[in-house]
């Protein structure tokens, strides 16, 4: 019999938000609104769509393994050297490559509880040692992470803003943190929601820094609407990027993803529309939460974490929303079992969602689910 390593047997794979088509089949619904995966509700960048249309005749060819045009676009847009950039199939892929390229079995990776589940999977599937520091006020506790560093620590993962809590640490906090981290410990700074957070003056914006032990990961899945293409990039020291090219799969990202990303990075009008819609949608959600007395966490992203009275209440809430055609995310697997994450939608979707949320929450308060 084939032997499966214990760390693979015990691994809990990443579980994505429920697809719309699946819920429609299960519940026999004619209308479903999905606000569970932090996607862009208005679709992909129009420039990206046009780029895909103009590129389909090239599908018989492999993509450029160096992603030259995309790398040059990223380098030019963010004023970094091209040899400090690598593109890949989304943040998940890049995180997996960083962990595999720069850690050994005996190494320890430190991060926070209640953060992006993808990093937990990337670390555990390689049998690495994962240390999770508790959140402080639903945010990364940078001082506690520094205090947790041991002689086995060689990597730290930070998400800023954090998913699923939406919280952000400031430029001052980040710089103080980096001053305390030994130079041999790599720091991954996941900035998946940078497009939403960068308008805040205190946002660190990792690409501006030149630390030799810092690598930044970003995605085009969120604000630029390319989640279905799986496209992201990392920026870091040239030696780090060179090593990542050695472990990255060949011809990644795929041809259409590269062409769409190049076009989307130039679509400032679409990005501005997305940011404005996000502000309006989240404002409606906050008003709904406040009106219903629902505790929620201040967010710097395109989603809000709502805190339910109990774990059973959160589970019942998510299920009751599904019954009514609204997909939200119960973030128990992220380490926040009482949390429900809800991302912004179109204004029509947001109005529908607030109606469902109010109805379900008040109904469950009256029923008082077991364990609440």
pLDDT digits (tens, 9 = 90+) for 6-25: 777 776 766 667 787 787 78
Bond before 253 cis per omega within 30 degrees: yes
In the DSSP assignment, the letter for residue 28 is: T
Q: Find the helix packing angle between 68-78 and 255-264, rounded to 10°.
A: 20
Across residues 158-184, what is the average pLDDT?
Answer: 98
281 has pLDDT over 90: yes
pLDDT at 26 over 90: no
Q: Tell me the pLDDT band of 368, cut-offs 50, 70 and 90.
A: low
Fold category of 6-44+268-367 in CATH? 3.90.1150
pLDDT tens digits, one per residue of 243-256 = 999 999 989 999 99
The alpha carbon of 258 is separated from its chain's Cα centroid by a whole number of angstroms, namely 20
φ, ψ (nearest 5 deg) of residue 129: -90, 120
Averaged confidence pLDDT in the chain = 94
Q: Quote the CA–CA distance of 281 and 83 in Å, as a whole number.
A: 39
Can you tell me the mean pLDDT for 143-162?
98
Domain boundaries, the chain: 6-44+268-367, 46-264
CA-to-CA separations, 177 to 112, 153, 174, 182, in angstroms, rounded: 14, 15, 5, 10
Residue 364: closest CA among 311, 302, 325: 311
Pick the CATH number of 46-264 from 3.30.365.10, 3.40.640.10, 3.40.50.300, 3.30.420.10: 3.40.640.10
Give the best-scoring range by mean pLDDT among 3-7, 10-14, 334-338. 334-338
**Nearest to residue 58, comparing CAs of 256, 227, 202?**
256
Lowest mean pLDDT among 15-19, 61-65, 73-77, 260-264: 15-19
Q: Which long-range contacts (CB under 8 A, 24 or more apart) does 140-145 make?
A: 140/112, 140/115, 140/167, 140/169, 141/112, 142/169, 142/173, 142/174, 142/176, 142/177, 145/110, 145/111, 145/112, 145/177
Between the alpha carbon of residue 184 and those of residues 103, 208, 334, the distances in Å are: 12, 20, 28
Considering the entire predicted model, what is its pTM? 0.93
Distance CA 280, CA 88 (A): 32
Average pLDDT over residues 136-153: 98
Which class for 59: exposed (0-12), middle (13-18), buried (19 or more C-beta within 10 A)? exposed
For residues 273-294, average pLDDT: 98
The model's confidence at residue 112, banded by pLDDT at 50, 70 and 90, is very high
Provide CB contacts within 8 A for 76, sequence distance 6+. Answer: none
């Amino acid at each position: 019999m084939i032997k499966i390593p214990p760390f693979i047997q015990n691994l809990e794979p990443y579980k994505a938000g429920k697809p719309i088509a699946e819920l429609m089949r299960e519940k026999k619904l004619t209308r479903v609104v999905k606000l569970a995966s932090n996607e862009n509700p208005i679709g992909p960048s129009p420039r990206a769509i046009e780029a895909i249309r103009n590129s389909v005749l090239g599908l018989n060819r492999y993509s450029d393994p160096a992603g030259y045009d995309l790398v040059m676009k990223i380098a030019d847009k963010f004023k970094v050297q091209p040899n400090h950039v690598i593109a890949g199939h989304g943040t998940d892929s890049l995180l997996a490559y960083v962990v595999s390229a720069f850690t050994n079995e005996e190494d320890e990776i430190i991060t926070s509880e209640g953060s992006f589940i993808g990093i937990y999977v990337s670390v555990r599937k390689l049998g690495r040692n994962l240390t999770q520091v508790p959140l402080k006020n639903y945010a990364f506790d940078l001082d506690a992470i520094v205090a947790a560093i041991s002689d086995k620590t060689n990597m730290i993962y930070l998400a800023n803003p954090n998913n699923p809590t939406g919280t952000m640490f400031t430029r001052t906090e980040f710089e103080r943190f980096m001053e305390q981290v030994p130079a041999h410990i790599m720091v991954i700074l996941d900035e998946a929601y940078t497009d939403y957070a960068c308008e805040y003056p205190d946002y660190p914006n990792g690409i501006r820094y030149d630390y030799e032990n810092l690598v930044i990961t970003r995605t085009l899945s969120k604000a630029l609407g390319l989640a279905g293409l799986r496209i992201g990039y990392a920026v870091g020291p040239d030696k780090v990027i060179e090593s990542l090219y050695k472990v990255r799969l060949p011809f990644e990202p795929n041809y259409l993803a590269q062409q769409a990303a190049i076009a989307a990075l130039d679509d400032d009008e679409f990005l501005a529309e997305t940011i404005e819609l996000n502000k309006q949608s989240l404002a409606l959600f906050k008003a709904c939460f406040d009106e219903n007395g629902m505790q929620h966490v201040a967010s710097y992203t395109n989603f809000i974490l709502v805190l339910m009275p109990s774990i059973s209440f959160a589970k019942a809430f998510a299920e009751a929303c599904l019954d009514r055609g609204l997909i939200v995310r119960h973030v128990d697997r992220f380490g926040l079992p009482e949390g429900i994450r809800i991302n912004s939608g179109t204004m029509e979707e947001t109005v529908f969602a607030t109606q469902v949320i109010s109805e379900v929450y008040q109904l469950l308060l009256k029923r008082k689910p077991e364990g609440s």
